[in-house]
Each structure stands twice: as structure tokens, then as C-alpha cells.
Amino acid sequence: MPNSATPTHCPYCALQCGMNLTPQQDGGVAVVERPDFPVNKGALCGKGRTAPAVLSSSVRLTSPLVRSGGELVPATWDEALDRVAEGLARTRTEHGPDACGVFGGGGLTNEKAYSLGKFARIVLGTSQIDYNGRFCMSSAAAAGMKAFGLDRGLPFPLEDIPKTGCVILVGSNPAETMPPSLRYFTELRENGGTLIVIDPRRTRTAEQADLHLAPRPGTDLALALGLLHLVVAEGRVDEEYVQERTVGWEDARAAAMAHWPEYVERITGVSVPQLREAVRLFCEPEHAMVLTARGPEQQSKGTDTVGAWINLCLATGRAGRPLSGYGCLTGQGNGQGGREHGQKADQLPGYRKLDDPAARRHVAEVWGVDPDSLPGPGRSAYELLDALGTDIKSLLLMGSNPVVSAPRAAHIEERIKSLDFLAVCDVVMSETAALADVVLPVTQWAEETGTTTNLEGRVLLRRRAITPPEGVRSDLEVMHELAARLGGERGLEKGFPTDPEEVFEELRRASAGGAADYSGITYRRLAEENGVFWPCPAVPEAADAESSEDCEDASLDATAGADDPAQDEEAAAASVHPGTPRLFLDRFATPDGRARFVPVSHRAIAEEPDDEYPVLLTTGRVVAQYQSGAQTRRVDELNAAAPGPFVELHPRLAARLGAAEGDPVAVVSRRGRAVAPARITTGIRPDTVFMPFHWPGEGRANTLTNPALDPTSRMPEFKACAVRVEAVRS
């Protein structure tokens, strides 16, 4: 074990803050500032600071568990792995490979996500794999692919934000969800730039804004169209840019012109003068950015909604230019990398498409299998969970806790219970693990090495800093052992190394030539640089140098634009590709290099309020809890700060119910009923209530949410459904 500080990254969100871990007397580690890492410059939120608490074996799973007589009881690893292999093999024999499901997570390292996708397709032979990232940024990913031909959360580093003129943050609350990133927005304003926040609630982020627009949940598409209408009406279109760098403007323009500001005001509740002010702040400076997060994306029209915001950027010439652009703030620790290497239903590594014959050939060759043996695309996350117990009989789950986090969670919980067989790999006893037939305790974060890709597309190395507790094994070991058991004579385990660097070396080859090309990235480079931005193809001449000892003195010009052929040559001379911090500066990733406008029109949310369910429910996060809470609900300091669920509501609505601060209120939707204390604030629209989704049980927000899916991204409508709110009399 190293006895000095180990530089690594936080286990939680997509900012992937740098931190140092120092060994402690008691065998644990302490988090210490790591000021040299540029993204957070030493700053951490409370979750990152307290992350070592979840390493403690007092809150950990430290032995495999198997269900026996209805109870989960400790077992040896061999017994537990045999049970998993038997469960999956039986399903495969009796019902065919597609009856085996696999569900992954955007918190898994690139190595794990890559191996899980490969495991599903070549060990189980199933098409039925998807992951929780579908619930996260999938709408932005789909819209980015359509418009730019490529999906990378931010096409520029966070450090560009303070230098632009205006940022519109749409449905994003970084003050609670990525606190250290707030510095970039504060600096923007110190430099004379402006911040516009669009959120139905006056969040801690909105409090810092120059302009806060509070639309009705689920109306961001109309809002963006209204702004574009005004851009056209006020003659603010960048005609030259539109001519040179885009296609499809006429149709998009026509669609926007049908959205008069007064009509948009009626739909959104945002007044026409506020719309005009937003257009002025956005258009006057030379540079500007639009950043979206889950607010506009987690809607049954999330893809079109993000498309409308991209249209606004394109019409005003604010994409693919320095200090201007559209970006999505990805959420999970490896939300970016986790969507690139094959755990998504329709994807192969390197952001390749599973239905593309050339992609299948390339990846099948790396995997040493026949391309025809690879299954086709499978179901999306909600559809997969909804099929449990019917078409899908067995599930292997790694890195998600859907009993708390899936929409219409009571129904999904029933589906999970109706499985013939469930195996869960986790670090703690999550609500979903508690339903499993076999629970496999795995290593995490500080106990293992692996790479993640942060929201900027920066590939990072997390390093092992501590010995894992006795009794746990890594996810990679689990896949290796299951491949050995399920592969029989085929020796499939050889394709599932347990050393993360070996997996990464294969991932490099599998991703080579794909959109998310990692082939020029090595662990060695990641250890020496503060991350490398993809795409980063291997430079042919460098392939040999990389594996020999003399690559250390290769000079790296991080400012070289990878999109520029002249600079590519320079990089080749330097024998390594510098990576690509900024995308699209010369061309978009479409065949003709031009961005695509999408013609979109407003449509209603899937479930509009009515007499029976007159209020809108929206959901989201609080700063001290993470996701389903499986990890952070085990940390005392975080529980003290955020002890449980609540219903945020306006004083006018509270008065109508006769509810005072802290009184239990029931929120009822067509899916179920949840009860939590009232939190009364003028910061929310009177027609809307908000619940955080971090808790199970009576206050579980997802008991209420609507699984209406976006037709393209298959994203559920977490951010808007119709509810009734009732006072609870004791």
C-alpha cells in the first residue's frame, strides 16, 4: 500500500472532482485537497469529502449472500458464483438467451461498462442490456447526435465558461448537484457576463442568476421556440453562419414562427418582457452558451426540447465556435464514458451502433467472435425493467438501484420480485439488492483502479489507494468468474481480464476509429496528465513508442485542435495525439460537416393536470444525498444535512390544504401515493410541487412518476406528471 497521498477522483458525480487520499492509522483513508486538478481546483462538496465513510466495512457488504428459505444468508464466493451461473444458464436453456437481462450503471468505470456490454453479448448472447444512463442524459445525447453527429456532454472544457458572454442554464441546479462548478458561473458574472437560469423553482442556482425564468414544468420546448421566434422577429439571426455551417433552417424557422411570444407566455407562464430580456442578454454579447441538464431532458419530449435549444444556438451562430456552444451537464461519475462503450441497448464500444455492419465487424474481430453471433439492439431501460418476469426471467444488475430510482417504482419493484432469478453486484445492501437471490459484494472507487470520463469528455484515472475489505471482489472478477462458468469449453473467461489496465488496452482497440476513440489514451498518459479529452486516436507511429519506455518525453501540445489537419500532423510529429478539448470548431461530425436544425413544435406533457389531479409534480435532487441514496444514506453527516424526503410547495397551495411547515402531506398520482413533510416556500410555482427522489418507502417520489417515454431517447417523464396533494390528518 502506498503510504503517501494517492491522487484520484470522487466516486459520485460527473464533475469527477480530483482529490488526494491519504492513509490513516486505522487502515482507512482521509480525503485531502488536490489543488492541481483543474476542474475543481481542490474544492469538494460534502458528498466527496465524506466519501470514505462508505468504504467502512460497518456499512459494506463483505460476504456474498444467497437466498435460502426466503432469507439472504452468507455463502462462499464459489457457492454464490455457481448459483448465479446456474440461474442464468437455466433461463438461457429454458427460455433462450434474450430471457436473460443485464442492467448496468453510469457510475461504473469504463472498464466495467465495456466488460458488461461484452459479457451480455458474447457470454449470455442476449440483446437485453441497458443501463440507468437512459434515465439520465439520453435525451441530450439523442439530440446532440441528430444536430451535431456526435454526443459529448460538453464540447468544451468548463474553463471556457467564465470567458463567454452569457450562459443559459436550462433545468440545471449545479449549486446543489455540482457545487464546485459554481465557481465558473460566479467568474462569468465577475467578468461581466450574465447568467440566465430556467427552472420552475427559485433554486440556490437561480438565486445567483441575472435573470430567472420559472416556466411550468414540461414547457421548455415552447419556451425555446418562443425565444427563437423573437430572435427572428428582432433580426438577430446570424445569416452567414446559418448559410455556411448548418442545414434545415427554413423548416426550423417556420416552426418557430408559429410560436408567438404571447402563445408561449400562455403555455409556459413566462411573460413576454422576460422572454425579450432573455433574448437580449443571450444575443448581445459576442459569445454565449446554452447548457441543459435533467429539467428539460427528463421529459417525454426531451429530445425535441434539447433540439429546440440547439436550434436557438445554431440560429444565433453559437455552436462550434470558440467560447460559444451548446452543452449537456452529464450526471453520474462515468455518465459520459458509461454511454460510449457498450452497456447501452443499441451500442458497441467507441460509440458505435450495434446495427452498423462495419461496427459489428470491427468489434467482433477485437472480441474474437463471428459478427453474426452478436445480438441486435435490445429494449431501453424502462422497457427492460417493465418486461421483468414476463419476457425476461433472470437479471444481472450492476451499479443501479431501480427500486428507488426507476419511474413508477412500485410497479417496477413488483416486476423485479416476479423474476425467476436476480443477481445484484453492489457495495452496500441497496433496496434492490435486498430483493436478490444472490448478492455479490464488490470493490469500489478507492479500492480499485479504473478510468472514468467526466462531463467535459475528459478521460481520468482513478487509482487504488486502499486494500478492500476481506470478502469483496471486483466487478471485473465477477464477470471473469461467470464467463468461466457459463462459457463451458469455450474458455470465454480469457476475454474478461481482471486487471483493469488489460481491459482498457482492449477497449482502446475496440474504440479505435469509432466516434469516441480512446485508442491514443493509455494509463501511463492518464497518470501523467490531468486527463485526456476524447476523441484521441492512436497516432500510427506512436503505437510502438507507447509500449516502449521512451514515450515520457513526447511533447504534448494541449492547445492543438484535433479537428485541424495541419495540427494533426504536428501531433503526429509529437508522436501522440493531444486529445480534443474543443469539438466542432471547424466542422460538425455530420457527413457534410454542417449542423442540422430540427423542425420541432410544442406538445403537451404526457399527463396534463385535470380536476382529479390538478397539480404538477416535478422531482430532482438535494445537495447532501446522491441518487437512490444507497451510498449517501449511509453517511451520518449527510443524513444530518438531508434526513429525509419532503414535498416542496407554495404557501398558497399549503394554505388551501391547511398544511403548515413540517406537516405530513400526501401526494397522489395515477401510479400511487407518497407521504412526506411539507416544506413551504415562495420559491416554487403555486401550480407545482417538488420532491427529491433519494429515499425509499413512504416518501419515495418514484412511486408517483410517469413512465411515459420519449419516442427517440426512451427517456421517462421524471420531471412532470399530474398529482393531487392532500393534507394527512393523524
Ligand X SMILES: Nc1nc2c(c(=O)[nH]1)N[C@H]1C(S)=C(S)[C@@H](COP(=O)(O)OP(=O)(O)OC[C@H]3O[C@@H](n4cnc5c(=O)[nH]c(N)nc54)[C@H](O)[C@@H]3O)O[C@H]1N2
Residues near Mo ion (CB under 5 A) are 136, 331
Question: Count of CB atoms within 10 A of residue 531's CB?
Answer: 26
Q: Which does 105 bind (CB under 5 to 8 A by kind): ligand SF4, Mo ion, ligand X, none?
A: ligand X
Please say which residue, 242 or 439, places its beta carbon nearer to ligand X. Answer: 439
Question: Grid coordinates in use for 297?
Answer: 431532458
User: Nearest distance from residue 243's CB to ligand X, in Å?
Assistant: 31
Please say which residue, 6 or 474, places its beta carbon nearer to ligand X. Answer: 474
How big is the chain by its Cα radius of gyration, in Å? 25
DSSP 201: B
In the numeric block, the cell 417504482 is attached to 409
Among 105, 155, 317, 578, binds ligand X (CB under 6 A): 105
Q: Which does 17 bind (CB under 5 to 8 A by kind): ligand SF4, ligand X, Mo ion, none?
A: ligand SF4
Question: Grid coordinates in use for 676?
Answer: 412526506
Among 7, 23, 34, 44, binds ligand SF4 (CB under 6 A): 44
Among 180, 193, 331, 497, binds ligand SF4 (CB under 6 A): 180
d(CA 171, CA 587): 28
Residue closest to 151 by CA, chosen among 339, 355, 16: 339
Q: Work out whether 331 is an interface residue with ligand SF4 (CB under 6 A).
A: no
Q: Work out whether 168 is an interface residue with ligand SF4 (CB under 6 A).
A: no
Q: Which does 146 bind (CB under 5 to 8 A by kind): ligand X, Mo ion, ligand SF4, none?
A: none
What is the crossing angle of helices 261-268 and 220-233, to 10°?
Answer: 160
Residues 630-669, one symbol each (x = binds ligand X by CB under 6 A, - = not), give xx--------------------------------------
User: Nearest distance from residue 409's CB to ligand X, in Å?
Assistant: 8
Which of positions 363-422 make contact with ligand X (CB under 6 A)? 398-402, 404-405
Among 718, 721, 723, 724, binds ligand X (CB under 6 A): 718
Q: Work out whether 199 is an interface residue with ligand X (CB under 6 A).
A: yes
User: What are the backbone angles phi and psi of residue 649, rounded to the nearest 5°?
Assistant: -145, 160
Total residue length of the chain: 730
22 forms beta bridges with: 30
Which of positions 275-294 make contact with ligand SF4 (CB under 6 A)? none
AA identity, residue 58: S
Which of positions 432-471 make contact with ligand X (CB under 6 A)? 442, 444
Tell me if 171 sits within 8 A of 220, measured CB to CB.
Answer: yes
Residue closest to 170 by CA, chosen among 337, 306, 332: 306
Tell me the C-alpha to C-alpha distance, in Å, between residue 362 and each of 341, 377, 406, 521, 559: 13, 17, 34, 19, 31
User: Nearest distance from residue 602's CB to ligand X, in Å?
Assistant: 13
Among 621, 671, 714, 724, binds ligand X (CB under 6 A): 621
Q: Work out whether 164 is an interface residue with ligand SF4 (CB under 6 A).
A: no
User: Nearest distance from residue 297's CB to ligand X, in Å?
Assistant: 8
Q: Work out whether 160 is an interface residue with ligand X (CB under 6 A).
A: no
Burial of residue 437 (number of CB atoms within 10 Å: 0-12, 13-18, 19+): buried
Which one of the spans 10-18, 112-120, 440-448, 596-604 is the region binding ligand SF4 (CB under 6 A)? 10-18
Residue nearest to ligand X (CB): 331
DSSP-derived pairing of the beta strands 716-717 and 450-453 = unpaired
Cα separation of the two ends of the chain = 56
Among 6, 7, 8, 15, binds ligand SF4 (CB under 6 A): 15
d(CA 533, CA 151): 13
User: Nearest distance from residue 205's CB to ligand X, in Å?
Assistant: 7
Residue closest to 456 by CA, chosen among 40, 36, 24: 40
Residue nearest to Mo ion (CB): 331
User: Nearest distance from residue 137's CB to ligand X, in Å?
Assistant: 7
Q: Which does 179 bind (CB under 5 to 8 A by kind): Mo ion, ligand SF4, ligand X, none?
A: ligand SF4
Tell me if 416 sits within 8 A of 382, measured CB to CB.
Answer: no
Residue closest to 167 by CA, chosen among 322, 278, 268, 271: 278
Please say which residue, 537 or 620, places its beta carbon nearer to ligand X. Answer: 620
Residue closest to 350 by CA, chosen among 524, 535, 589, 542: 535
Tell me if 340 sits within 8 A of 259, measured CB to CB.
Answer: no
Tell me the C-alpha to C-alpha distance, in Å, between residue 636 and each of 19, 28, 54, 625, 633: 21, 17, 10, 11, 8
Task: By CB under 6 A, name the binding residues for ligand X.
Answer: 13, 105-108, 132, 135-136, 170-174, 176-178, 198-201, 203, 217-218, 220, 293-296, 298, 331-332, 398-402, 404-405, 425-428, 430, 442, 444, 475, 618-621, 623, 625-628, 630-631, 690, 693, 701-702, 705, 718-720
Task: By CB under 6 A, name the binding residues for ligand SF4.
Answer: 10, 12-13, 15-17, 40, 44-45, 47-48, 178-180
